[in-house]
Structure 1
Amino acid sequence: MTTLPLVIRPETSRDNDAIERLHERAFGPGRYARTAFRLREGVPHLSDLSFTALVGTLLVGSVRVSPARAGASPLLVLGPLTVDPAFGSRGIGGALMRASLDAARAGGHGLVILVGDAPYYARFGFRVLPLRKLILPGPVDPGRFLALELREGALAEVGGSVVGGTR
């Protein structure tokens, strides 16, 4: 593993264009059809929980977190977590995850959900959700629908359909 002069910092509004180009390179145009994207569509991400990774002045990674609800219960939706393919397998995704999850814990949030690779996200404490515990606004492989309790008991407090936003 090559040591990079990596800086993890909160996302700013100036980062938006570079992040959009990063998403295009990493996920392509099909990202708009995915259930996770549809859940976040039209919902501003939370700037205090969203981070970028830079090598010098080059933005090489990003993680965004958006608010959502299941019934009356608030929760967080993590994603996308994106690392420039040229910088993969160097710990950048993990550094972004730790920064975001630490900020969410410090902010008193209870539950984070995501759609992703269970073996990758398990190292951060994410587990597959019990079947039909939460329902997303589109199809999702149940083995990729994951949750992390930031506060013990938070998962027991939620159920039903997940909608993006805080209302």
Structure 2
Amino acid sequence: MAAVLDVVRALFAPASTPAFVIDRETPADVVAREALLDRALGADRSKKSSEKVRKDRFPAQGLALVARDRVGHVIGTVRLWNIEAGVSREGQPVDALLLGPLAVDAAREGKGIGSALVRAAIVEAKKRGHGAILLVGDASYYERFGFFAKKARHLVMPGPFARERFLALELKAGWLHDAAGMIVASGRKFSRPAQRTVV
């Protein structure tokens, strides 16, 4: 009987390893990340305004993060992208980051994975000296991290977007104070192989 109780205790004891960890994305994560985004965001995800900004660009250096379960599977993802958040009053581009997409495996929702990814992204962006992060998302979710529509009121996304869902967080006080204009991609580009025409 004691042996059976030991097995039961082992089954229900708190795990010695966390349920998930936040890690840097690696090239080996690409297929799993893309499959997760397709499941979470649907086939039309490439038509969003944010995707126009991210198209053919690499994420910002060190700012592509994943959540992994205990055996290393990708169960969440977030990336940040270099952008110009309009221009300052003096006409200078205002460097910033665009957050997204954020996605968590549906079977793991409600376990704090999305929040952990956003917090880790903010901390890492601060460490790297960035001034602000913008995103398009639900204010009711992102306000807890300090993102507010008021900070992005003089900025616009390319293509259609919902003004109340366009939010910003200043990592450095006043960074977006006089920024106005269109969000433009400024990150490193990658080139697609040229398509050959068969005659």
Q: TM-score, normalised by structure 2?
A: 0.78
Change (3 A) 1:52 1:131: closer
Give the gaps of 5 or more residues in structure 1: none
Deviations 1:14-44 (A, max 9, x none): 1111100000000111101111111111121
Partner letter of residue 41 of structure 1?
Answer: K
Residue in structure 2 matched with residue 24 of structure 1 by the alignment:
38
Q: Secondary structure at the match of 1:51?
A: strand
Residue in structure 2 matched with residue 116 of structure 1 by the alignment:
137
2 CA distance for matches of 1:163 and 1:113?
Answer: 12
Q: After the TM superposition, which residues 1-167 of structure 1 pair with which residues of structure 2 at under 5 Å, given as runs?
A: 5-55=19-69, 56-69=71-84, 70-71=86-87, 72-129=93-150, 133-166=154-187
Check conservation: 2:58, 2:187, Cα contact below 8 A. Answer: no
Query: How many pairs are equivalent?
Result: 166
Identity %: 39
Give the gaps of 5 or more residues in structure 2: 1-13, 88-92, 189-199
Stretches (4+) displaced over 6 A: none
Check conservation: 1:35, 1:140, Cα contact below 8 A. Answer: yes
**Greater Cα radius of gyration, structure 1 or 2:** 2
Alpha-carbon RMSD: 1.8
